[in-house]
Amino acid sequence: MKRVIGVTGGIASGKSNVCNVISELGYPVLDCDLITAELSKKDLPIYKAIVDNFGTDFLLEDGQLDKKKIGKLIFNNDGAKTKLNQITHPIIREELIKRIGEYKDGLVFIEVPLLYEAKFNDICDKVICVFLKKKNQVERLMEREGIDEDYALAKIHSQMDLYLKKAMADFIVDSKGDFDETREQVIEIINKIKEGA
């Protein structure tokens, strides 16, 4: 029997570490950010949808999407962010379902930062939330992206509150510790899922 397990969390909360552990344990992980990047290449579905709806002002000289310019637009404009999500989420969802369908049984994990926002949780049998207290999340994000505290907080607040995601999820990985602690939690959760908990 195949089961789809969603992995979500906030920006800089440690999702990549959790998914690295899952991959190392031999389970497939479908990364929504990678799928989005693939479909955003020139003349592919997300690229076409963005050009059709936002125009050619968001293209680089080589014709590819100017992701920095798009990022700035949606960060400062809720209407544009909503519109972008409305046109891209169905495309990503369709591709994700297609790739999930390539697996016949076992556990298939999908890493989706906006799992609840995009309502992708309805294609999951269980959801794991990677949780980190906001103070630690801010510190990690500042260090990772070389940004100040105000900008880090603005980026965090642009997403659904992590405490809310935690409350909605079936399992929680607290990523405040080191990689080995994260690994132990992931193994324990996978064992519970396999046991039908």
Domains of the chain: which residue ranges? 2-195
The b-or-e profile of 63-97 (16+ CB within 10 A means b, else e) is eebeeeebeebbeeeeeeeeebeebbbebbbebbe
For 67-118, what is each residue's pLDDT tens digit? 989 988 888 888 999 999 999 999 999 999 999 999 999 999 999 999 999 9
Domain 2-195 class in CATH: alpha beta
Confidence of residue 173 (pLDDT cuts 50, 70, 90): very high
Backbone angles phi, psi at 43, to 5 degrees: 70, 5
The length of the chain, given as a count of residues: 197
Residue 95 contacts residue 88 (beta carbons within 8 Å): no
pLDDT at residue 38 is higher than 70? yes
pLDDT at residue 197 is higher than 70? no
Question: Does the pTM exceed 0.85?
Answer: yes
Q: What's the confidence (pLDDT) of residue 78? A: 87
